[in-house]
Chains A and B, each alone.
Chain A
Amino acid sequence: MSDLALAGLSDSLLFGAVLLYTLAMLGFAGEQASRRSHRVSAAAGERSSARESAAARTRMMAGAGGPALAAPAATPPPPPAQRAPSRAGAIGLALTGIGAVVHVGSVITRGFAAHRVPWGNMYEFSSAVALCAVVIFLVLVAGRRADRALGAFVMVPVVLYLGLAGTVLYTAAGPLVPALDSYWIKIHVFAAVLSSGAFLLSGMVALLYLLRCRHDAQVAAGRTPRFPLSMGSALPAAPALDRVTYGVIAFAFPIWTFAIIAGAIWAEAAWGRYWGWDPKETWSFITWVLYAGYLHARATAGWKGTKAAWIAVAAAGALIVDYYVVNIFVVGFHSYA
């Protein structure tokens, strides 16, 4: 097959993946809707249970540092509302899986079309980052470390992101500028792609955690949350979201550190200095410092919970600045594509 045909195939596959992800998103959303209607019927119970858990949280905070809570709650919490098993959600998950396979196909054919690693410009990079985010999400769901109810919320940004990548950032397959012609592109950029996919996913989950916390606080106060907070009832419980955020960041942070160090080694070979505060380097550093802050915050009294989640969101924001604002608006050594 000619390079041009391969590149065309890659584009079609990406389009197919976006289509599948969109359908998956609808599937997940269908499941959400059925769950929510299920919930509404048990609204009273839910509200009281949410109030209960909020009260328990307050107790825990008050008791932090003291002996573990031994006294049982006055009334045993009602059993959690049975999650309505929905075929729509399972279909959504299956479609996400197929979409990821098609997406892998798109990335690989792109690499063959350009005769190099498929992350040489911003379009390819964005596609690969989105793929990593989707795959990590699927791995989490398969390992029962994340609820597939997150699917709808995760797929929306993925679809938007890929849509932007495929239109605004699209670059035809071609060779690399000489500075990128090094085996370090395989190592440095792959590590950056993988950790970025994870970081963007964690940023999304951190946002959902914040939404869930607000939702819970409103329910505990006896108010009915309005849109968008009303979506909170379809989300996994706040501690579960917090755990997913932390787990994904703990996975990605060493990889990001490695990506920066590999980049420094490459910069030393290409430009004669391992660190020069180029805008890209500066924002990678800012991102790194913010994630380091997140990991410390999560172990610091008074910074756990929503404050830490806001840091995770800010760090993901810094990452986006690192890739898009710096590449497009700031001229530096990394301005390639």
Chain B
Amino acid sequence: MTVTSDREATRLSTAPEPVAPAPARRQSFLAPWRRAWRQLTSMRTALLLLFLLALASVPGSFLPQRGLNPVAVKQYFAEHSTLAPVLDRVYAFDVFAAPWFAAVYLLLFVSLVGCLSSRLRLHAKALTTAPPAVPRVLSRMPSAERWETDAEAGAVLEQVRTVLRRGRWRVVVRSDGGHEDADALSAEKGYLRESGNLLFHISLVVLLVGIAMGGLLGFQGTVLVKEGDGFANTVLAYDDIKPGRRFDPSRLVPFSFELDDFQATYGDDGKALTFLAQIRYAAGPADGQRPYALRVNHPLVVDGAKTYLLGHGYAPKVLVVDREGNELSQTVACLPQGPTFLSTCTIKVPDAAGEQLAFEGVFTPTTVQDPVNGQVASVYPAPENPALTVLGYRGDLGIDDGRAASVYNLEDRTRLTPIGDGRTPQKLSPGQTWDLPGGGSLTFVETTEWATFQVTQDPGKVVALVAGIGMVVGLCLSLSVRRRRVWLRLSPAGADRPPGRTVVEIAGLARTNSEAFAGEFARLVDRVRSTAPPRTPSEEPA
């Protein structure tokens, strides 16, 4: 038995050994590459890359991010007009899509794959080969016992083997016990530690694949739907759409739905308690409609497309009568400005006879009015005392030249003249009508609501979920299973001892949590002692 095999025996980990300076061999042109590869796949590099990844994520949480909140990014640009463009050039507002962020995690994954490939090979080898040979000097092991017995060596060996087998140890009986005429066995347990470790790291790679699939083939769109309106799942129907780079619009699930009713309930403090969107949906053009109660945490799922309830607001229904008596009915989505749902509204009436009409103002669900200056405010988010308070304009809306215009504000008011004094807004309760000076009227008919929906398709989701499960299972195994070895050697006691006397040597080794192993080892030694009762060296057989 050589020293090298002793070292082999005590190696319990398949972790790569620290990079040793390569022996001076024939310098191949590949040598620098090999060196770089070894450097990249070393644990130390992996550690540094891990810290770099953590550090790189930090700005993404303190600076507004386009993917998360584009409005906040615009606001940041407005507030820091000199700093923002500089930050933007280094992707500070798209940190998680930045090339430098990708560089860090891709290097980390390359390092991981390099490390994995060698560890997979080593672990496969460990799984297919027998536990290592019995070291020559067992007393040097961290746990070791030695005594003499009169029990028959072969029987003891067989019994210990049975005990270990029953404890799910991998056991191999060896004739090369390191000494002449010795019976010996090596046993090892806890291979699942490394299996779990590898499973965890492979799962990380699978997770990255799942995320990439979502980014390439996935799709996300949001749409605002008023009560009574419908939505059909086509690219053009969305207000905002974020397709993956390889997303094929023909793969949009052809479902449609109509929003019948949206309900929100609130506590006394104005905090939202429940949201419910009552919809009727059809899974395909040929399918009939089915009702569905869409709530937060309960999306509608149609063939892999998920529809989520995202937000809500008020949509007052108004009736505009122009100078010629034409009735123009409209439902206007107002944008909520705060927790009490004071919402800004813009009503454009391009089809009014003669001059075009526009109204601008606020909708307040539970209205209070300042008795002094007449300003309205909302004190509660539910429509307990709704009011629409608006200023009116006549003239040219400037939207007939085909340019895309926002429905939420009056962009071009150069050719609009105020109705009345242009300063005193008109407050309307449901059913009330404002007879416009100069002809026509505006009636606040009733309060309805709108909801925003988000539709997503992400084919990588299942892959990511499987990877997540693999990560947790792998971690639990690799952090709780202990890899350990025991060796038993039974050798003849020698000529100066009574005939039939056997020296029992047992030793054990564990890399992690050696306290727990000490107990296990002690119990094992007790079992062996009971089959091979110790004799003191001086004691003669009775």
Q: Which A residues lie at the B interface, using CB under 8 A?
A: 65, 68, 70, 145, 174-175, 177-179, 181-182, 184, 247, 250-251, 253-254, 257-258, 261, 264-266, 268-279, 282-283, 285-286, 289-290, 292-293, 295-297, 299-303, 318, 326, 330, 332
What are 18 sample pairs from A and B whose C-beta atoms fall under 8 A apart? A174-B269, A178-B297, A181-B296, A181-B297, A254-B479, A269-B299, A272-B455, A276-B67, A277-B68, A278-B68, A286-B61, A289-B50, A289-B54, A295-B479, A296-B43, A296-B47, A300-B43, A326-B61
Beta-carbon contact of A270 and B50 below 8 Å: no
Most B Cβ at <10 Å: residue of A177, A182, A254, A279: A254
* Besides A265-B468, A271-B308, A272-B310, 17 new A-B residue pairs in contact (Cβ under 8 A), listed by A number: A70-B140, A145-B515, A174-B269, A175-B273, A178-B273, A257-B471, A265-B465, A271-B454, A273-B220, A274-B464, A277-B60, A282-B57, A285-B57, A286-B58, A290-B50, A299-B13, A326-B61
Beta-carbon contact of B96 and A277 below 8 Å: yes
Residues in B299-352 with C-beta less than 8 Å from chain A: 299, 306, 308, 310
Determine the chain A residues whose CB is within 8 A of the CB of B364 once the complex forms: none
Beta-carbon contact of A181 and B308 below 8 Å: no
Residues in B444-496 with C-beta less than 8 Å from chain A: 454-456, 458, 461, 464-465, 468-469, 471-472, 475-476, 479-480
Q: How far is the CA of A286 from the CA of B52 in the complex (A)?
A: 10
Tell me whether B502 is interfacial, beta carbon within 8 Å: no
Q: Which B residues lie at the A interface, using CB under 8 A?
A: 13, 15, 18, 43-44, 46-47, 50-51, 53-54, 57-58, 60-62, 65, 67-68, 95-96, 140, 211, 220, 267, 269, 271-275, 295-299, 306, 308, 310, 454-456, 458, 461, 464-465, 468-469, 471-472, 475-476, 479-480, 513, 515
Interface of A is mostly: helix
Determine the chain A residues whose CB is within 8 A of the CB of B13 once the complex forms: 299
Beta-carbon contact of B54 and A290 below 8 Å: yes
Closest to A259 in B: B472
Q: How far is the CA of A178 from the CA of B274 in the complex (A)?
A: 5
Beta-carbon contact of B272 and A68 below 8 Å: no
Determine the chain A residues whose CB is within 8 A of the CB of B274 once the complex forms: 178, 181
Beta-carbon contact of A292 and B68 below 8 Å: no
Beta-carbon contact of A273 and B61 below 8 Å: no
Beta-carbon contact of A177 and B271 below 8 Å: yes
Determine the chain A residues whose CB is within 8 A of the CB of B471 once the complex forms: 257, 261
Beta-carbon contact of A254 and B475 below 8 Å: yes
Beta-carbon contact of B46 and A296 below 8 Å: yes
Determine the chain A residues whose CB is within 8 A of the CB of B476 once the complex forms: 254
Determine the chain A residues whose CB is within 8 A of the CB of B454 once the complex forms: 271-272
Determine the chain A residues whose CB is within 8 A of the CB of B271 once the complex forms: 174-175, 177
Closest to A252 in B: B479
Q: How far is the CA of A242 from the CA of B47 in the complex (A)?
A: 19
Beta-carbon contact of B51 and A293 below 8 Å: yes
Q: How far is the CA of A278 from the CA of B60 in the complex (A)?
A: 9
Beta-carbon contact of A292 and B296 below 8 Å: no
Beta-carbon contact of A257 and B472 below 8 Å: yes
Beta-carbon contact of B57 and A178 below 8 Å: no
Beta-carbon contact of B472 and A258 below 8 Å: yes
From A174, A182, A258, A289, give the contact of B53 (CB < 8 A): A289
Most B Cβ at <10 Å: residue of A145, A270, A301, A303: A270
The 10 nearest A-B residue pairs measured at CB: A261-B468, A254-B475, A272-B308, A282-B61, A279-B61, A182-B297, A289-B54, A293-B50, A250-B479, A272-B454
Q: How far is the CA of A274 from the CA of B458 in the complex (A)?
A: 10
Beta-carbon contact of B472 and A261 below 8 Å: yes
Q: How far is the CA of A70 from the CA of B271 in the complex (A)?
A: 70
Determine the chain A residues whose CB is within 8 A of the CB of B465 once the complex forms: 265
Beta-carbon contact of B43 and A293 below 8 Å: no
Q: How far is the CA of A296 from the CA of B303 in the complex (A)?
A: 42
Closest to A254 in B: B475
Beta-carbon contact of B140 and A299 below 8 Å: no
Closest to A268 in B: B461
From A251, A258, A318, give the contact of B54 (CB < 8 A): A318
